[in-house]
Amino acid sequence: MAQLQAVRGTQDLLPAEARRLRIVAETARLIAARYGFGEIITPIFEFTEVFSRPIGEATDIVAKEMYTFRDRGDEEITLRPEGTAGVVRAVISNGLTQSTPLKFFYAGPMFRYERPQKGRYRQFHQIGVELIGPSQPQADIETIALGAEILAALGVLDACEIQLNTLGDTASRQAYRGALVEYFSAHCEALSEDSRDRLARNPLRILDSKDEGDRVIIAGAPAFDDYLNDASRAFFDQVRRGLDALGLGYVRKPHLVRGLDYYCHTAFEFVTTHLGAQGTVLGGGRYDGLMALMGGPDLPGIGWAAGIERLAMLSAEPPAEIRPIAVIPVGEAAELPALKLTQDLRRAGFTVDLGYGGNTGKRMKRANKIEARVALILGEDELRRGAVTLRDLDGGQQQEVPLGEIQQRLALFR
Protein backbone atom coordinates (compact mmCIF):
# COMPACT_ATOMS: atom_id res chain seq x y z
CA MET A 1 0.00 0.00 0.00
CA ALA A 2 1.36 3.40 -0.99
CA GLN A 3 2.30 5.77 1.79
CA LEU A 4 -0.30 8.47 2.33
CA GLN A 5 0.84 11.97 1.44
CA ALA A 6 -0.61 15.46 1.74
CA VAL A 7 -2.50 16.60 -1.35
CA ARG A 8 -0.39 18.62 -3.80
CA GLY A 9 -0.55 22.29 -2.97
CA THR A 10 -1.29 21.72 0.71
CA GLN A 11 1.08 21.57 3.65
CA ASP A 12 1.24 20.28 7.18
CA LEU A 13 1.96 23.18 9.49
CA LEU A 14 4.08 21.63 12.22
CA PRO A 15 4.38 23.53 15.52
CA ALA A 16 7.27 25.85 14.56
CA GLU A 17 5.68 26.93 11.25
CA ALA A 18 2.19 27.09 12.74
CA ARG A 19 3.57 29.44 15.36
CA ARG A 20 5.06 31.74 12.70
CA LEU A 21 1.70 31.95 10.92
CA ARG A 22 -0.15 32.46 14.21
CA ILE A 23 2.11 35.37 15.15
CA VAL A 24 1.34 37.06 11.80
CA ALA A 25 -2.41 36.68 12.33
CA GLU A 26 -2.33 37.73 15.98
CA THR A 27 -0.19 40.78 15.25
CA ALA A 28 -2.59 41.86 12.50
CA ARG A 29 -5.64 41.23 14.69
CA LEU A 30 -4.21 43.37 17.51
CA ILE A 31 -3.33 46.32 15.27
CA ALA A 32 -6.62 46.13 13.36
CA ALA A 33 -8.43 46.39 16.69
CA ARG A 34 -6.56 49.66 17.40
CA TYR A 35 -8.10 51.01 14.21
CA GLY A 36 -11.56 49.91 15.30
CA PHE A 37 -11.81 46.79 13.14
CA GLY A 38 -13.65 43.94 14.87
CA GLU A 39 -13.03 40.33 13.91
CA ILE A 40 -15.54 38.51 11.71
CA ILE A 41 -15.45 34.77 11.01
CA THR A 42 -17.45 33.63 7.99
CA PRO A 43 -17.97 30.02 6.85
CA ILE A 44 -15.18 28.28 4.97
CA PHE A 45 -17.73 27.25 2.34
CA GLU A 46 -20.62 29.19 0.85
CA PHE A 47 -23.21 28.74 -1.87
CA THR A 48 -21.28 29.02 -5.12
CA GLU A 49 -23.26 32.09 -6.17
CA VAL A 50 -21.69 34.09 -3.33
CA PHE A 51 -18.43 33.96 -5.28
CA SER A 52 -19.51 33.46 -8.88
CA ARG A 53 -21.80 36.49 -8.92
CA PRO A 54 -19.25 39.13 -7.81
CA ILE A 55 -16.10 37.50 -9.20
CA GLY A 56 -17.69 36.73 -12.57
CA GLU A 57 -18.41 33.43 -14.30
CA ALA A 58 -15.80 34.10 -16.99
CA THR A 59 -12.85 34.87 -14.71
CA ASP A 60 -10.01 32.41 -14.15
CA ILE A 61 -10.90 32.14 -10.46
CA VAL A 62 -14.43 30.91 -11.14
CA ALA A 63 -13.69 28.97 -14.33
CA LYS A 64 -10.46 27.26 -13.28
CA GLU A 65 -9.54 27.75 -9.63
CA MET A 66 -12.58 27.33 -7.35
CA TYR A 67 -13.18 24.12 -5.44
CA THR A 68 -16.88 23.58 -6.19
CA PHE A 69 -18.98 20.51 -5.42
CA ARG A 70 -22.53 19.40 -4.74
CA ASP A 71 -23.30 18.36 -1.18
CA ARG A 72 -25.72 15.66 -0.07
CA GLY A 73 -28.59 18.10 -0.31
CA ASP A 74 -27.67 18.69 -3.97
CA GLU A 75 -26.64 22.29 -3.18
CA GLU A 76 -23.73 23.71 -5.14
CA ILE A 77 -21.09 24.68 -2.59
CA THR A 78 -17.68 26.33 -2.99
CA LEU A 79 -14.72 26.51 -0.64
CA ARG A 80 -14.00 30.20 -0.31
CA PRO A 81 -11.29 31.45 -2.71
CA GLU A 82 -11.17 34.90 -1.06
CA GLY A 83 -12.63 36.74 1.90
CA THR A 84 -14.44 39.84 0.66
CA ALA A 85 -17.51 38.21 -0.90
CA GLY A 86 -18.25 36.22 2.26
CA VAL A 87 -17.99 39.32 4.44
CA VAL A 88 -20.33 41.30 2.18
CA ARG A 89 -22.77 38.37 2.14
CA ALA A 90 -22.65 38.28 5.96
CA VAL A 91 -23.43 41.99 6.15
CA ILE A 92 -26.51 41.51 3.96
CA SER A 93 -27.62 38.26 5.64
CA ASN A 94 -27.37 39.69 9.13
CA GLY A 95 -29.16 42.93 8.36
CA LEU A 96 -26.17 45.14 9.11
CA THR A 97 -26.50 47.52 6.17
CA GLN A 98 -28.16 50.18 8.35
CA SER A 99 -25.28 50.15 10.85
CA THR A 100 -22.47 51.64 8.79
CA PRO A 101 -19.64 52.30 8.98
CA LEU A 102 -18.75 48.62 9.37
CA LYS A 103 -15.13 47.71 10.02
CA PHE A 104 -14.17 44.03 9.87
CA PHE A 105 -10.94 42.06 10.20
CA TYR A 106 -10.69 38.40 9.19
CA ALA A 107 -8.08 35.65 9.17
CA GLY A 108 -8.37 32.11 7.90
CA PRO A 109 -7.87 29.54 5.14
CA MET A 110 -8.76 30.08 1.48
CA PHE A 111 -8.77 27.57 -1.37
CA ARG A 112 -7.77 27.91 -5.02
CA TYR A 113 -6.76 25.26 -7.52
CA GLU A 114 -3.69 26.85 -9.06
CA ARG A 115 -0.08 25.92 -9.70
CA PRO A 116 1.72 25.78 -6.34
CA GLN A 117 4.75 28.04 -6.08
CA LYS A 118 6.89 29.73 -3.46
CA GLY A 119 4.64 31.02 -0.70
CA ARG A 120 1.45 30.09 -2.58
CA TYR A 121 -0.58 26.96 -1.95
CA ARG A 122 -3.96 25.54 -2.92
CA GLN A 123 -4.98 25.82 0.69
CA PHE A 124 -3.51 29.07 1.94
CA HIS A 125 -4.25 31.57 4.68
CA GLN A 126 -5.10 35.24 4.50
CA ILE A 127 -5.64 38.20 6.73
CA GLY A 128 -7.85 40.98 5.44
CA VAL A 129 -9.97 43.98 6.31
CA GLU A 130 -13.19 45.41 4.91
CA LEU A 131 -14.49 48.93 5.57
CA ILE A 132 -18.09 49.23 4.39
CA GLY A 133 -20.17 52.41 4.25
CA PRO A 134 -17.87 55.45 3.94
CA SER A 135 -17.45 56.96 0.49
CA GLN A 136 -14.85 59.54 1.57
CA PRO A 137 -11.15 59.31 0.60
CA GLN A 138 -10.31 59.20 4.33
CA ALA A 139 -11.51 55.58 4.36
CA ASP A 140 -9.00 54.68 1.66
CA ILE A 141 -6.21 56.44 3.54
CA GLU A 142 -7.02 54.70 6.81
CA THR A 143 -7.25 51.29 5.18
CA ILE A 144 -3.87 51.65 3.46
CA ALA A 145 -2.33 53.03 6.67
CA LEU A 146 -3.60 50.02 8.61
CA GLY A 147 -1.93 47.67 6.12
CA ALA A 148 1.32 49.59 6.43
CA GLU A 149 1.15 49.53 10.24
CA ILE A 150 0.69 45.75 10.28
CA LEU A 151 3.59 45.21 7.88
CA ALA A 152 5.75 47.53 9.97
CA ALA A 153 4.94 45.56 13.13
CA LEU A 154 5.97 42.38 11.32
CA GLY A 155 9.23 43.97 10.17
CA VAL A 156 8.15 43.69 6.54
CA LEU A 157 7.28 47.24 5.51
CA ASP A 158 10.85 48.32 4.74
CA ALA A 159 11.09 45.45 2.24
CA CYS A 160 7.95 46.64 0.42
CA GLU A 161 7.01 49.36 -2.03
CA ILE A 162 3.50 50.81 -1.92
CA GLN A 163 2.14 50.92 -5.45
CA LEU A 164 -0.90 53.13 -6.01
CA ASN A 165 -3.33 53.90 -8.79
CA THR A 166 -6.82 55.23 -9.41
CA LEU A 167 -9.51 53.42 -11.40
CA GLY A 168 -11.71 56.52 -11.40
CA ASP A 169 -15.47 56.58 -11.00
CA THR A 170 -17.90 54.67 -13.22
CA ALA A 171 -18.02 57.33 -15.91
CA SER A 172 -14.24 57.64 -16.10
CA ARG A 173 -13.73 53.90 -16.17
CA GLN A 174 -16.30 53.35 -18.94
CA ALA A 175 -14.68 56.04 -21.07
CA TYR A 176 -11.26 54.47 -20.54
CA ARG A 177 -12.57 50.98 -21.18
CA GLY A 178 -13.85 52.11 -24.57
CA ALA A 179 -10.48 53.61 -25.46
CA LEU A 180 -8.68 50.40 -24.42
CA VAL A 181 -10.99 48.20 -26.48
CA GLU A 182 -10.38 50.35 -29.54
CA TYR A 183 -6.61 50.32 -29.01
CA PHE A 184 -6.17 46.64 -28.23
CA SER A 185 -8.59 45.58 -30.99
CA ALA A 186 -6.19 47.16 -33.46
CA HIS A 187 -3.42 44.91 -32.04
CA CYS A 188 -5.59 41.86 -31.40
CA GLU A 189 -3.59 39.41 -33.50
CA ALA A 190 -0.39 40.21 -31.59
CA LEU A 191 -1.93 39.77 -28.13
CA SER A 192 -1.53 36.60 -26.10
CA GLU A 193 -4.43 34.18 -25.96
CA ASP A 194 -5.29 35.25 -22.40
CA SER A 195 -5.33 38.92 -23.37
CA ARG A 196 -7.50 38.28 -26.42
CA ASP A 197 -9.93 36.52 -24.13
CA ARG A 198 -9.87 39.46 -21.70
CA LEU A 199 -10.47 41.97 -24.47
CA ALA A 200 -14.14 41.07 -24.65
CA ARG A 201 -14.92 40.83 -20.94
CA ASN A 202 -12.45 42.87 -18.86
CA PRO A 203 -9.94 44.75 -21.04
CA LEU A 204 -8.41 46.56 -18.04
CA ARG A 205 -6.90 43.24 -16.99
CA ILE A 206 -4.78 43.23 -20.15
CA LEU A 207 -2.76 46.02 -18.53
CA ASP A 208 -1.71 43.52 -15.85
CA SER A 209 -0.44 40.93 -18.34
CA LYS A 210 3.05 39.54 -17.72
CA ASP A 211 3.42 38.24 -21.28
CA GLU A 212 6.46 39.92 -22.88
CA GLY A 213 4.71 40.46 -26.19
CA ASP A 214 1.73 42.00 -24.42
CA ARG A 215 4.01 44.32 -22.47
CA VAL A 216 5.32 45.83 -25.70
CA ILE A 217 1.76 46.57 -26.86
CA ILE A 218 0.69 47.83 -23.43
CA ALA A 219 3.49 50.39 -23.46
CA GLY A 220 1.63 52.29 -26.17
CA ALA A 221 -1.84 52.00 -24.64
CA PRO A 222 -3.86 55.13 -23.79
CA ALA A 223 -3.18 56.61 -20.36
CA PHE A 224 -5.96 56.35 -17.78
CA ASP A 225 -5.26 59.89 -16.58
CA ASP A 226 -6.49 61.26 -19.89
CA TYR A 227 -9.95 59.86 -19.15
CA LEU A 228 -10.35 60.82 -15.50
CA ASN A 229 -13.06 63.38 -14.82
CA ASP A 230 -12.63 66.17 -12.28
CA ALA A 231 -14.39 64.27 -9.47
CA SER A 232 -12.09 61.27 -9.88
CA ARG A 233 -8.98 63.46 -9.95
CA ALA A 234 -10.09 65.27 -6.79
CA PHE A 235 -10.73 61.97 -4.99
CA PHE A 236 -7.31 60.59 -5.88
CA ASP A 237 -5.59 63.85 -4.96
CA GLN A 238 -7.10 63.64 -1.47
CA VAL A 239 -5.91 60.06 -1.06
CA ARG A 240 -2.39 61.02 -2.04
CA ARG A 241 -2.36 64.05 0.23
CA GLY A 242 -3.47 61.88 3.13
CA LEU A 243 -0.73 59.32 2.52
CA ASP A 244 1.81 62.12 2.25
CA ALA A 245 0.61 63.55 5.56
CA LEU A 246 1.15 60.15 7.22
CA GLY A 247 4.63 59.82 5.76
CA LEU A 248 3.68 56.80 3.65
CA GLY A 249 5.73 56.89 0.48
CA TYR A 250 4.25 55.33 -2.64
CA VAL A 251 4.89 54.86 -6.34
CA ARG A 252 2.21 55.66 -8.91
CA LYS A 253 1.56 52.63 -11.13
CA PRO A 254 -0.79 53.59 -13.98
CA HIS A 255 -1.22 49.96 -15.04
CA LEU A 256 -2.19 48.69 -11.57
CA VAL A 257 -5.78 47.61 -12.16
CA ARG A 258 -8.71 45.59 -10.91
CA GLY A 259 -10.65 44.17 -13.84
CA LEU A 260 -14.13 43.78 -12.35
CA ASP A 261 -16.69 46.52 -12.86
CA TYR A 262 -17.47 47.12 -9.19
CA TYR A 263 -13.90 48.28 -8.46
CA CYS A 264 -13.35 52.03 -8.60
CA HIS A 265 -11.07 54.81 -7.44
CA THR A 266 -8.17 53.60 -5.27
CA ALA A 267 -6.21 50.44 -6.10
CA PHE A 268 -3.03 49.59 -4.21
CA GLU A 269 -0.49 46.87 -3.57
CA PHE A 270 2.45 46.40 -1.21
CA VAL A 271 5.11 44.74 -3.38
CA THR A 272 8.47 43.22 -2.49
CA THR A 273 11.37 41.90 -4.53
CA HIS A 274 12.26 39.39 -1.80
CA LEU A 275 9.87 36.65 -2.98
CA GLY A 276 10.81 36.34 -6.65
CA ALA A 277 8.41 37.25 -9.45
CA GLN A 278 5.29 36.90 -7.30
CA GLY A 279 6.02 39.95 -5.21
CA THR A 280 2.65 41.22 -3.98
CA VAL A 281 2.22 40.61 -0.25
CA LEU A 282 -0.86 42.80 0.34
CA GLY A 283 -3.32 44.22 -2.14
CA GLY A 284 -6.70 45.85 -2.23
CA GLY A 285 -8.93 48.59 -3.49
CA ARG A 286 -12.29 50.31 -3.41
CA TYR A 287 -15.33 48.26 -4.49
CA ASP A 288 -18.31 50.62 -4.38
CA GLY A 289 -20.54 48.46 -6.60
CA LEU A 290 -20.08 45.10 -4.90
CA MET A 291 -22.80 45.31 -2.26
CA ALA A 292 -25.49 46.15 -4.84
CA LEU A 293 -24.23 43.40 -7.16
CA MET A 294 -24.77 40.87 -4.36
CA GLY A 295 -28.34 41.97 -3.73
CA GLY A 296 -27.81 44.53 -0.98
CA PRO A 297 -28.14 48.31 -0.94
CA ASP A 298 -25.70 50.39 -2.94
CA LEU A 299 -23.08 50.83 -0.20
CA PRO A 300 -19.44 51.68 -0.92
CA GLY A 301 -16.56 49.68 0.48
CA ILE A 302 -12.81 49.28 0.50
CA GLY A 303 -10.56 46.51 1.73
CA TRP A 304 -7.40 44.50 1.30
CA ALA A 305 -6.08 40.99 1.81
CA ALA A 306 -2.60 39.60 2.48
CA GLY A 307 -1.20 36.08 2.37
CA ILE A 308 -0.13 34.90 5.81
CA GLU A 309 2.38 32.38 4.45
CA ARG A 310 4.08 35.05 2.38
CA LEU A 311 4.20 37.48 5.29
CA ALA A 312 5.65 34.75 7.51
CA MET A 313 8.39 34.11 4.94
CA LEU A 314 9.34 37.79 5.00
CA SER A 315 9.03 38.30 8.75
CA ALA A 316 11.98 38.11 11.10
CA GLU A 317 12.43 34.99 13.17
CA PRO A 318 9.91 35.24 16.02
CA PRO A 319 11.10 35.38 19.63
CA ALA A 320 11.95 32.00 21.08
CA GLU A 321 9.17 30.21 22.88
CA ILE A 322 9.29 30.02 26.65
CA ARG A 323 11.48 27.11 27.63
CA PRO A 324 9.54 24.55 29.66
CA ILE A 325 10.04 23.22 33.14
CA ALA A 326 10.59 19.47 33.34
CA VAL A 327 9.06 17.69 36.33
CA ILE A 328 10.83 14.39 37.02
CA PRO A 329 9.36 11.96 39.57
CA VAL A 330 11.76 9.42 41.05
CA GLY A 331 10.01 6.22 42.09
CA GLU A 332 6.38 5.18 41.96
CA ALA A 333 5.47 7.01 45.17
CA ALA A 334 6.37 10.33 43.52
CA GLU A 335 4.22 9.88 40.39
CA LEU A 336 0.96 11.31 41.77
CA PRO A 337 2.59 14.16 43.73
CA ALA A 338 4.53 15.05 40.56
CA LEU A 339 1.29 15.05 38.57
CA LYS A 340 -0.31 17.40 41.11
CA LEU A 341 2.75 19.69 41.14
CA THR A 342 2.66 19.84 37.34
CA GLN A 343 -1.00 20.81 37.32
CA ASP A 344 -0.51 23.48 40.00
CA LEU A 345 2.38 25.04 38.07
CA ARG A 346 0.43 25.07 34.79
CA ARG A 347 -2.49 26.77 36.50
CA ALA A 348 -0.04 29.37 37.78
CA GLY A 349 1.01 30.12 34.19
CA PHE A 350 4.16 28.03 33.82
CA THR A 351 4.93 25.81 30.82
CA VAL A 352 5.58 22.36 32.23
CA ASP A 353 6.46 18.95 30.77
CA LEU A 354 5.84 15.73 32.68
CA GLY A 355 7.15 12.63 30.98
CA TYR A 356 4.91 9.62 30.79
CA GLY A 357 7.40 7.00 31.87
CA GLY A 358 11.01 5.86 32.03
CA ASN A 359 13.71 5.98 34.63
CA THR A 360 15.34 9.14 35.86
CA GLY A 361 18.06 9.02 33.20
CA LYS A 362 15.57 8.77 30.34
CA ARG A 363 13.48 11.57 31.78
CA MET A 364 16.54 13.80 32.07
CA LYS A 365 17.42 13.05 28.44
CA ARG A 366 13.91 14.14 27.47
CA ALA A 367 14.31 17.32 29.51
CA ASN A 368 17.45 18.14 27.53
CA LYS A 369 15.78 17.24 24.21
CA ILE A 370 12.91 19.67 24.77
CA GLU A 371 15.44 22.31 25.93
CA ALA A 372 13.89 22.62 29.38
CA ARG A 373 15.23 25.51 31.43
CA VAL A 374 15.06 23.73 34.77
CA ALA A 375 14.20 20.29 36.08
CA LEU A 376 12.20 19.70 39.23
CA ILE A 377 13.17 16.35 40.74
CA LEU A 378 10.74 14.83 43.18
CA GLY A 379 11.75 11.64 45.00
CA GLU A 380 11.03 9.96 48.32
CA ASP A 381 13.50 12.14 50.23
CA GLU A 382 11.96 15.34 48.82
CA LEU A 383 8.46 14.05 49.59
CA ARG A 384 9.35 13.50 53.24
CA ARG A 385 10.72 17.01 53.53
CA GLY A 386 7.92 18.68 51.55
CA ALA A 387 10.43 19.95 49.04
CA VAL A 388 11.66 19.52 45.45
CA THR A 389 15.15 19.55 43.97
CA LEU A 390 15.52 22.34 41.42
CA ARG A 391 18.27 21.75 38.86
CA ASP A 392 19.42 24.57 36.58
CA LEU A 393 19.90 22.76 33.27
CA ASP A 394 22.01 25.57 31.83
CA GLY A 395 24.41 26.05 34.71
CA GLY A 396 24.19 22.60 36.31
CA GLN A 397 23.63 23.90 39.86
CA GLN A 398 20.87 22.41 41.94
CA GLN A 399 19.25 23.16 45.27
CA GLU A 400 16.37 21.92 47.36
CA VAL A 401 13.40 24.29 47.51
CA PRO A 402 10.31 23.98 49.79
CA LEU A 403 7.20 23.24 47.73
CA GLY A 404 5.55 26.37 49.11
CA GLU A 405 8.30 28.52 47.60
CA ILE A 406 8.73 26.80 44.26
CA GLN A 407 6.63 29.21 42.19
CA GLN A 408 8.52 32.25 43.44
CA ARG A 409 11.85 30.52 42.73
CA LEU A 410 10.81 29.44 39.23
CA ALA A 411 9.82 33.00 38.40
CA LEU A 412 13.55 33.85 38.41
CA PHE A 413 14.08 31.53 35.41
CA ARG A 414 11.43 33.07 33.12
Give residue 351's domain range. 325-413
Paired sense of beta strands 102-111 and 123-132, if any: antiparallel
pLDDT of residue 216 exceeding 90 = no
Enumerate long-range contacts of 25-33, CB under 8 Å, 24 or more apart. Answer: 25/107, 25/125, 25/127, 25/308, 27/150, 27/153, 27/154, 28/105, 28/107, 28/127, 28/150, 28/306, 29/105, 29/107, 29/127, 31/146, 31/149, 31/150, 31/153, 32/105, 32/129, 32/146, 32/150, 33/105
Question: What's the burial of 220, exposed, middle or buried (CB within 10 Å: 0-12/13-18/19+)?
Answer: exposed
Say which CATH number the domain at 389 has. Answer: 3.40.50.800
* pTM (2 d.p.): 0.88
Quote the pLDDT of residue 118: 67
For the segment 189-200, the average pLDDT, to the nearest whole number, is 83
What total of structural domains would you count in the chain? 2
173 Ramachandran zone, left/alpha/beta (phi>0; psi -120 to 50): alpha
Widest CA span of the chain, in angstroms? 94
pLDDT of residue 17 exceeding 60 = yes
Quote the pLDDT of residue 60: 58
277: in domain: yes
Dist CA 358 CA 339 (whole Å):
15
pLDDT of residue 34 exceeding 80 = yes
160: in domain: yes
Say which CATH number the domain at 304 has. Answer: 3.30.930.10
Quote the pLDDT of residue 59: 56
251: in domain: yes
Are 352 and 302 in contact by the 8 Å Cβ rule? The answer is: no
Final residue of a structural domain among 289, 314, 339: 314
Final residue of a structural domain among 283, 314, 345: 314
Residues 330 and 307 in one domain: no
Quote the pLDDT of residue 119: 64
- How much of the chain exceeds pLDDT 90, in percent? 64
pLDDT of residue 97 exceeding 80 = yes
Q: What is the pLDDT of residues 133-184, one digit of tens each?
A: 999 999 999 999 999 999 999 999 999 999 999 999 989 988 888 888 888 8
Q: Output DSSP code: residue 180.
A: H
Q: What is the pLDDT of residues 254-308, one digit of tens each?
A: 888 876 768 899 999 999 977 665 588 999 999 998 999 999 999 999 999 999 9
Cβ-based neighbour number of residue 407 at 10 Å: 14
Dist CA 45 CA 56 (whole Å):
18
Quote the pLDDT of residue 259: 62
Residues 378 and 262 in one domain: no
Q: What is the pLDDT of residues 64-91, one digit of tens each?
A: 788 999 999 999 999 999 999 999 999 9
For the segment 233-248, the average pLDDT, to the nearest whole number, is 97
